[in-house]
Structure 1
Amino acid sequence: MATPPWWEELIGVSEVLANADGAGIVAWRGPAADMVEEDEDDVPPLTVRLGALGRVFGEQSAEFIPEQSRRVLQLLEQIQAEGSHEDGEAVATGFFEALLNAWDNGFDLSSVWADVGPESRAYCRAWNDFTGVETPGWMR
């Protein structure tokens, strides 16, 4: 599966994200990967990669300075608003569903909500409705 052209910019925002993505690729390729020629298209599906980044973003939020958090969320909003349908869906179902799960597990989503763009906010509220989670006032 090919990596989209915006991917390097996204993981380049933070070493935490770059390291998480690198670890995910190593795990995907398995222990024998170092014995064969590296294939840049041998990476997890985009939704899986974005899910891992969403989980890490929530779990390791203290490792991100506000500018990094803001930039990650701006890039993801741009992809949802202007990118391909497939990329936008991967962002929503990968990153934001994982981030909402991190919120369920204690991540203070309200601390970055002001930086979440309108497309991303709409998806998060719709996901809450779909899953039966009450949307708090600060999310409206």
Structure 2
Amino acid sequence: MKRSVFQLIVFLCICLLPTIAEAQQDVSLTFRFVTKNTKEGYDHVSKLIVYSDDEQIGESTEKLQSKPNSVTVKTPKGKHKIKAILYALYNGTWEPRTIANEYSFDFEYSKTGNWEVNNTISLTFDIEQTMVHIKEKVPVVADDED
């Protein structure tokens, strides 16, 4: 009986080891975001799209921009350029909220750094102040590439 239990434990460890090792090589990034000072009639349906090294790794649900929202993504540990861009549904088309698209400022977060631990990043897109307020639970040292 003891031998059977031992064999079962060894078998489970061998089966679960790749999953455990893979999970330890990723970090979770949670983005919490909201848009402040939205003018009446301009509360667009929005979503945040997150990229790692210019590859999309996730997107939030769609909500009015004035409603708090969040998205959690995984990226491998190590040096990466993480970018999160707020998109608005405008005339039936999703477009990034950037100066290039005639918005008052770029509604985005971008940082290249060494991502080693799970992190929560809070973004407040403030239309009145035309800026993004950023709060990181674990500060990430940015590289000079941005």
Q: Same fold (TM over 0.5)?
A: no
Report which of the two has the higher share of helix.
1
| TM-score tier (shorter) | under 0.3
TM-score when normalising by structure 1: 0.23
TM-score when normalising by structure 2: 0.22
Report which of the two has the higher share of strand.
2
